[in-house]
Amino acid sequence: MIAGRYRLLSKLGHGGMGTVWRAKDETVDREVAVKEPRVPDHLPERERSNAFERMRREARAAARLDHPAVVNVHDVAVEDGQPWIVMEFVKGRSLGAALQEGTLGAREAARIGLEVLDALDAAHQAGILHRDVKPDNVMLGTHDRVVLTDFGIAQIEGETNLTDTGGFVGSPEFIAPERVLGQRPGPASDLWSLGVVLYAATEGVSPFRRNNTPATLQSVLNATPAAPASAKGPLAEVINGLLQKEPSRRPSAARVRQLLKDAAAPPKETQVVRVAAPGGKGISLSRKGWIGVGAVVVAAVVATVLVVVNPFAGPLPDDWKEKEEKDLRVTTAYPKDYQRWVPKDPETDGVYVRYTDRSGVLELRLDLMVEDEDDVTDKIKGSAASQAYAEADEIENGSTTAWNMAEKPAPKVKTDDKATHQDKRAAINTITYADDGADTENPLPKEVKIMYFLTKDGDLYRYSASYPGKGDFTERGREVAKTAFENLKIKNP
C-alpha cells in the first residue's frame, strides 16, 4: 500500500528509470498505474532529495496538460520520502510490443504519429519537453486511442550530460544528436525522436541501432539512414525531414502535421475500366492507366505471357546446382560436390537442410521457423533487423552455446540491417569467434554469416554459412555464403 491509498497489484513493466505497477486507488475505487522512480543508491542524500523534488515538480507540470493523447497524472504519492507517480491506467499495449509482431502500414503509422505529434505540441506549448519519445512510451489503447506516456516524469532537467558521466536520460537509438553532444534540447529534439519512431514503425527497427551503446551513439551523430522502404510520399518526407542532424533544418510541427494528415488519409477512389480478353476474361485498368497506354499496347499485354526475370545479380556458377526443398518452400543453390543433409524427424528436430563440403570445414544451413507454431512464435521478432539484433545481443552477452564458442576472446557481431532479398528487407549478421570444440587450449578462428528474412506470413528464414575465420578457406567461405544467399528463391516471400 502506497501512501495509505494505492494498493500495488502487479508489475506492468520496468526500465532504467523505474518500475510501473498496476494498482488500485482504494479511496475512489479506480484502477491506476503507479510509477516507482529509480534513483541510484550511491547518490548523496542531498542530491537524492533534490532529484525527488524535481520529479514532483515535473509531475505537477505534466498534470497540467489536458490532452487526450497525453497520459493523465492524478497524484504524486510519497512513501518513505520517495515520490510515486500516480497516472491513469491505459488499457492496451505499447507500440513497442505491437512492433514485436510486425511493422505497421504507412497509413496506420501516420495516424499514430499524428496523435503523438499533437501530444508533443501540447506539451511544448506548456514549456514541457518529453525527452524520451520511443515506441515503448506510446500506448495503443481501446477505440484507436493513442497515448504518450512518461512525460518527463522520471527525467530530470539539468541531468549531468554525457561528457561528464558517460550516461544520460533516454534511449540511445531514439535520442537526437544535439542531446548526445550535451547541448540544450528543444522541441526539435522531441520531433527527431518522433521521426525515429515512425521509421521503426514502418521498417521494424531504429535506423541508428547498433550492437552496443557507443556504436549506436556514433551512428546517431554520423550515420545517414537509408531511405525508408515501406514509407512513401508524405510519410517519407516527414521521416527524412525529422532525421536531419541540424535541429534548425527539421520541419516545423505544423508542416509535419499536414504531411501526416496527407499520409493518413484514405486513398482516393479510382475509376476502373474492364478490357475484354480471350476466353471471356478481362483485365482491369485505372482511368489513369487507360489514358497512359494505347489500345495496341493493351492488346499486347493481354496476348503475351509473363516472363519471370531472375532477380539475382548474375548466372549461377558452373560448379553449382539448384535444388527444390519442398518442406522449406524454397529453391536453393549450392556447390555440386557438397553433401546434402535433412533431419530424420522434422517434427522433433525442426525443418532445415544442410549442405557441407567434403572436408567438413564449410557448411550452409537453412532453417525455417513457422510463425503459428507455439514453440517458436515468441522467438520470431517483428522484422529481419530486429531478429538479427536480438541474436547479436544473445551472442555478445554469452547467452548462446552455438558453434562451440569460446569465452575468450569474446565473440563479435556486425549487423547489416540494410540488406535486401527478393526486393524486401533482410538482415545479415557476421559473427567472428574462437571455436574450442576440438581443442579448448588452441581454439580455431571461425566466421559465420547469417541472413534473416521474414515472410509476409510472419515465417522466419535463417540461412547461415560457417567457415574458418582465417586461412585459405576464408575467402572461399565468404564467396559461398554470398552466392548461396543471393540464389535462395523463397516461393511466398
pLDDT in tens, 140-156: 998 889 999 887 654 44
Q: Is residue 308 part of a domain?
A: no
Instruction: Specify the CATH number for the domain of residue 218.
Output: 1.10.510.10
Q: Is residue 312 part of a domain?
A: no
For the cut 90, the answer to whether the pLDDT of residue 178 exceeds it is yes
Band (157; pLDDT cuts 50, 70, 90): very low
Q: ∠ at Cα 346 (345, 352), nearest 5°?
A: 125
Residues 469 and 377 in one domain: yes
DSSP state of 142: G
Q: Is residue 439 part of a domain?
A: yes
Measured CA to CA, the distance from residue 329 to residue 316 in angstroms comes to: 20
| Structural domain ending residue among the three candidates 88, 121, 146 | 88
pLDDT in tens, 353-376: 999 998 888 999 999 988 655 455
Residues 329 and 352 in one domain: yes
CB within 8 Å of 271: residues ≥ 6 apart = 286, 287
Residues 152 and 83 in one domain: no
Residues 98 and 230 in one domain: yes
Give the per-residue pLDDT at 408: 81
Residues 78 and 102 in one domain: no
Determine whether the annotation assigns residue 35 to a binding site: yes
Measured CA to CA, the distance from residue 231 to residue 198 in angstroms comes to: 9
Give buried/exposed letters for 210-240 (b at 16+ CB in 10 A, else e). Answer: bbeeebbbebbeeeebeebebbeebbbbbbb
Reading across the β-sheet that carries 82-88, which strands appear in turn?
A: 6-15, 18-25, 30-37, 82-88, 73-79
Say which range, 67-81, 100-114, 183-197, 414-428, has the weakest mean pLDDT: 67-81
Give the per-residue pLDDT at 401: 60
Give the per-residue pLDDT at 463: 97
H-helix or E-strand spanning residue 346 = helix 346-349
Residues 232 and 126 in one domain: yes
Give the per-residue pLDDT at 169: 60
Band (120; pLDDT cuts 50, 70, 90): very high
| Structural domain ending residue among the three candidates 59, 88, 117 | 88
Mean predicted lDDT score pLDDT of the chain:
82
Instruction: Specify the CATH number for the domain of residue 383.
Output: 3.40.1000.10
Q: Is residue 161 part of a domain?
A: yes
Percent of the chain with pLDDT over 70: 82
Residues 411 and 285 in one domain: no
Give the per-residue pLDDT at 439: 62
Q: Is residue 315 part of a domain?
A: no
Residue 190 a catalytic site member: no
Q: Is residue 336 part of a domain?
A: yes
Structural domains of the chain, count: 4
Tell me which residue of 145, 7, 171 sits closest to 86, measured CA to CA: 7
pLDDT in tens, 71-94: 888 888 888 878 888 989 998 899
Among 118, 121, 132, 190, the one annotated catalytic: 132
Instruction: Specify the CATH number for the domain of residue 19.
Output: 3.30.200.20
| Residue range of the domain that includes 463 | 320-490
Residues 81 and 102 in one domain: no
Residues 81 and 152 in one domain: no
Give the per-residue pLDDT at 127: 83
Give the per-residue pLDDT at 15: 65
Residues 61 and 115 in one domain: no
Say which range, 76-85, 176-185, 263-272, has the weakest mean pLDDT: 263-272
Q: What pTM does this model have?
A: 0.62
Residues 344 and 463 in one domain: yes
C-alpha cell of residue 315: 548466372
Residues 297 and 407 in one domain: no
Q: Is residue 352 part of a domain?
A: yes
Q: Is residue 313 part of a domain?
A: no
Band (306; pLDDT cuts 50, 70, 90): very low
pLDDT in tens, 387-442: 998 898 888 877 666 677 887 888 899 999 889 999 888 999 999 998 876 666 77
